[in-house]
């Protein structure tokens, strides 16, 4: 992890300013601001459907045809990606910007060997010959700790385990030493042991390559162990942002507190003495334009003005929280132990 104070003093490598993304009939991301410093790991957390993956796809300019960026600036190394041509974006993606998608079996081409898929990136961006690209692909397979890379390079994806396919995706993503990597739920459908290996690998590569990482996850244990800073999203909105230590030691937004309370702990297995996990009642409704706070229908601390006045992010030192009542009460619960227990 990097020094968050030092990171705050540097200009961001990447920044979203007022990002608005919608699909037909529903907004998905609403006025999102996000910045990432060189070498920093920023975690985007929240329930499924809160806009985490859509944020990454919009940042990479990879939204499906039905998705639309309605407003906002996407800045990377001082360039606004929202105005770049398709050719300029193709030159940037895979070389300076890269992404690991959720499901490696659907992201890899089933009819091409993994060696050819890694080599394509190197031929396109590094202008290597096919022989040189193959040699470099073997080195990359070794870098991501796939055993016997000389033999495995000619395998098709279906011959690899889920963990090995994910490592191939990582090899493709880091082939050109990108400055920023988006990892969208990189351990989905992997068993716990393989999850830890993949996450340790990503963290090692981030350090060795000097790469910034945006980690999209709903696993708070992963966040506690690997992230420098956390952005909590709810129904397309950023509701809280803080360093990892601050967020777990002193969560301010009621939604953040609910997420932490719902995390299982290995010491007791459950949070409540009556034998039930804590839960946030109801479900998010990101497609509805609430006049006030989007979390108000589910919030245990809702007030009358919360339902009519949209919350504005308030700065408290280096952190932000979109809940004035939470700022006023500012509980000091210590949830860091529970988060670390969740990863064992």
CB contact at 8 A, 67 and 37: no
Domain identity same for 57 and 153: no
Domain identity same for 260 and 338: yes
For residue 167, give the nearest of 88, 104, 227 by alpha carbon.
104
The residues that bridge with 264 in the sheet, in sequence order, are: none
> Based on the structure, what is the number of domains in the chain?
2
The residues that bridge with 21 in the sheet, in sequence order, are: 29, 69
Q: Return the pLDDT at 336.
A: 41
Domain identity same for 146 and 205: no
Q: Return the pLDDT at 274.
A: 52
Asked which of 123, 152, 175 is the last residue of a domain, the reply is 175
Ranges under pLDDT 50 in the chain = 4-7, 268-273, 331-344
Domain identity same for 301 and 211: yes
Strand 180-184 vs strand 97-100: parallel, antiparallel, or unpaired?
parallel
Tokens 């706070």: give the residue: 293
- Tell me the residue range of the domain where 195 lies: 1-96+178-344
Kindly report, residue by residue over 77-92, the tens digit of the pLDDT.
989 998 899 999 999 9
Q: What is the CATH number of the domain that holds 211?
A: 3.40.50.300
Domain identity same for 109 and 252: no
Tokens 């193959």: give the residue: 134
For residue 220, give the nearest of 255, 181, 179, 182 by alpha carbon.
255
Domain identity same for 76 and 114: no
The span from the CA of 178 to the CA of 125, in Å, is 11
Domain identity same for 143 and 215: no
Domain identity same for 91 and 198: yes
Q: Return the pLDDT at 310.
A: 87
Domain identity same for 149 and 284: no
The span from the CA of 67 to the CA of 57, in Å, is 10
Domain identity same for 12 and 83: yes
Asked which of 175, 202, 217 is the last residue of a domain, the reply is 175
Full-prediction pTM beyond 0.85? yes
Asked which of 122, 152, 175 is the last residue of a domain, the reply is 175
Domain identity same for 29 and 123: no
Domain identity same for 170 and 223: no
């Amino acid at each position: 992890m990097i020094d968050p104070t030092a990171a705050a003093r540097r200009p961001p490598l990447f920044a979203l300013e007022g990002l608005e993304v919608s699909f037909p009939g529903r907004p998905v991301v609403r006025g999102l601001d996000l910045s990432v410093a060189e070498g920093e790991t920023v975690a985007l957390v929240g329930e499924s459907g809160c806009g985490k993956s859509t944020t990454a796809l919009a940042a990479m300019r990879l939204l499906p045809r039905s998705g639309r960026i309605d407003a906002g600036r996407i800045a990377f190394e001082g360039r606004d990606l929202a105005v770049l041509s398709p050719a300029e974006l193709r030159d940037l993606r895979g070389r300076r910007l890269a992404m690991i998608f959720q499901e490696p079996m659907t992201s890899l081409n089933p009819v091409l060997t993994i060696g050819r898929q890694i080599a394509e990136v190197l031929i396109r961006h590094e202008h290597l010959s096919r022989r040189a690209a193959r040699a470099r692909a073997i080195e990359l397979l070794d870098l991501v700790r796939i055993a016997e890379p000389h033999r495995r390079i000619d395998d098709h994806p279906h011959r690899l385990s889920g963990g090995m396919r994910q490592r191939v995706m990582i090899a493709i993503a880091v082939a050109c030493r990108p400055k920023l990597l988006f990892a969208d739920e990189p351990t989905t459908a992997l068993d716990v042991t393989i999850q830890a290996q993949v996450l340790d690998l990503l963290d090692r590569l981030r350090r060795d390559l000097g790469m910034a990482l945006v980690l999209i996850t709903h696993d708070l244990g992963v966040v506690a162990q690997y992230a420098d800073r956390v952005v909590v999203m709810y129904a397309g909105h950023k509701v809280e942002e803080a360093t990892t230590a601050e967020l777990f030691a002193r969560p301010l937004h009621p939604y953040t507190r609910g997420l932490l309370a719902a995390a299982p702990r290995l010491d007791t297995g459950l949070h409540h003495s009556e034998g039930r996990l804590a839960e946030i009642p109801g479900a998010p409704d990101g497609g509805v334009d609430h006049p006030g706070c989007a979390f108000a229908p589910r919030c245990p601390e809702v007030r009358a003005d919360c339902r009519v006045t949209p919350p504005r992010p308030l700065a408290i030192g280096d952190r932000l929280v979109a809940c004035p009542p939470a700022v006023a009460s500012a509980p000091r619960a210590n949830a860091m132990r529970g988060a670390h227990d969740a990863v064992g």
